[in-house]
Structure 1
């Protein structure tokens, strides 16, 4: 195996070139880019993305990003389009054709067929003087003068630029459509990402025991409640059922350090509890409850609504749900 001396230098140079090319895109965002956004928004149809080779792979990623952010999209391979897949295109669709050169054989075959359908066509292309660019309604200028490999052949910089431009387009469409956190959650229900977006405290606490004692409960009653419910804490409420505080195993340890052993049996829950504990409402997102626990270095929070104790959410619950 040939020993390569400058592996780290080569890798850094690749990243530098790609980062510089993406950074240069900023100057290319102009009225034409804005026109592309409005063309998609006003079409009433879907975005159909097409390309060949590495452009096809990048196109599929852009399709996935658009679909997940509220813009209906699908992928049509340029080579398959001339063998029947053109039938997926509807009159009000917008077709984005991706090609670095804009002059490949497949693209030159595809473009006249697309123009015949009457759809709005956007060229995502590096060469603005290409056949594709000249025959499209709009241009997304994905300029990439050089690839990052020493032969200037392997699609590297150009694919990075194209993907970044696709992300910019998707986010602009997301903003224009008023796409919300809840909308995003609807499209991402699976896995830990989905749970971070839609799982709420009310989905968790009913599965836990509810340790609660009256404010006049004895130390013996407090300990029995905490150990039997196995959450390491108990809520304390008054005679009206309103929460007054919380007792954790940490409170018990501090109580033992601060009081003579002979006097602790006379203590009541109200003497031990921490008043004004950290609480969350039942409609709070579980991920926010996790952030509260992490920021306060605690392992559980009490779920309270209008002063009434509903339950507990423990750090272990969030671990089980894959949020940590």
Structure 2
């Protein structure tokens, strides 16, 4: 067997083993898990997640997920806890301790100290008859049959299972709190993800010029308006300049040259695309992006309470990092 086949088979075995372990966790979601969620919902303090070794790395990710989904949380390394960091825990806090065996020396030292502080304790363990599990108020069962490591030594499946169980906990809390996409946006204001959640068309389009002509505008006026306003298009309004009736783009001008033998006397109403696509100023900018992508266009007419207000261009969305 060549080395490429060995690599492929090994990688598939690992993924299949970990997928099966995660699927198996569904059988362990029980009254203790439910009681743990309900207790966290009622606490006045924070959720403190702790562990040692690879479990500490998983604890940090779970803390990040909890914080981003509306559950205040912080990370405490189990080894540092017994050298001073225990002071960060208050009596109103809820502690989740992650340990595959539940019997590591640091955990055995830490648990009595946590109980002395009066904190409620949940054990996320693979071994439910371990020291940690016996001392805990709640058990989050992350049991696995074996690691994906061929020697059954390196934390692989166990850390994946703990990570997935942490996600199940965070999402259960999210839904129980009624945490909305708007709430999520408030906690993620930075980067493209945040902008997708809160940036609106009204935040962007006012920076653009407002190209517009009336339906009787001659060709020269149309070309000057499109060129000077630099958006590749102009809105076409009724003679009273109140009602939007069409749009003329660079493409419409090119098609005009193919359609007409002479361009003398051409008016806006002759070459415009009637009833153009529009988007309300109150819509999210990402909605404008999706509409442009679906229709293969680069600009949209913006309306405000149904009336023409301006344009938003694909380049605006590119500059905001939404694409």
TM-score band (shorter)? over 0.9
Asked if 1:245 is matched to 2:249, the reply is no
Whole-angstrom distance in 2 between the partners of 1:279 and 1:7: 52
Unaligned runs of 5+ in 2: none
Mean Cα deviation higher: 50-59 or 85-94: 85-94
Show structure 1 runs of 4+ deviating over 4 A.
Answer: none
Shift of 1:267: 2.0
Shift of 1:45: 1.7
Unaligned runs of 5+ in 1: none
Shift of 1:275: 1.6
* Equivalent in the alignment of 2:282: 283
SS at match of 1:266: coil
TM-score (norm 2): 0.96
Residues 216-243 of structure 1: CA deviation (Å, up to 9, x unaligned):
1111111110111111100011214221
Shift of 1:4: 7.4
* Equivalent in the alignment of 2:139: 139
* Equivalent in the alignment of 2:27: 27
The 3 A distance-change label for structure 1 pair 270 and 278 is same
* Equivalent in the alignment of 1:98: 98
* Equivalent in the alignment of 2:222: 222
Q: How does 1:253-272 map to 2 (within 5 A)?
A: 253-261=254-262, 264-272=263-271
Whole-angstrom distance in 1 between the partners of 2:72 and 2:143: 26
Whole-angstrom distance in 1 between the partners of 2:286 and 2:163: 30
* Equivalent in the alignment of 2:126: 126
TM-score (norm 1): 0.96
Coordinate RMSD, CA, aligned: 1.5
Work out the number of aligned pairs and report it.
Answer: 321
Whole-angstrom distance in 2 between the partners of 1:4 and 1:216: 70
Q: How does 1:68-217 map to 2 (within 5 A)?
A: 68-217=68-217
Whole-angstrom distance in 1 between the partners of 2:264 and 2:272: 15
Whole-angstrom distance in 1 between the partners of 2:279 and 2:106: 58
Shift of 1:131: 0.6
Whole-angstrom distance in 2 between the partners of 1:160 and 1:119: 27
Whole-angstrom distance in 2 between the partners of 1:218 and 1:256: 15
Asked if 1:299 is matched to 2:301, the reply is no
Mean Cα deviation higher: 272-281 or 285-294: 272-281
Whole-angstrom distance in 1 between the partners of 2:192 and 2:293: 18
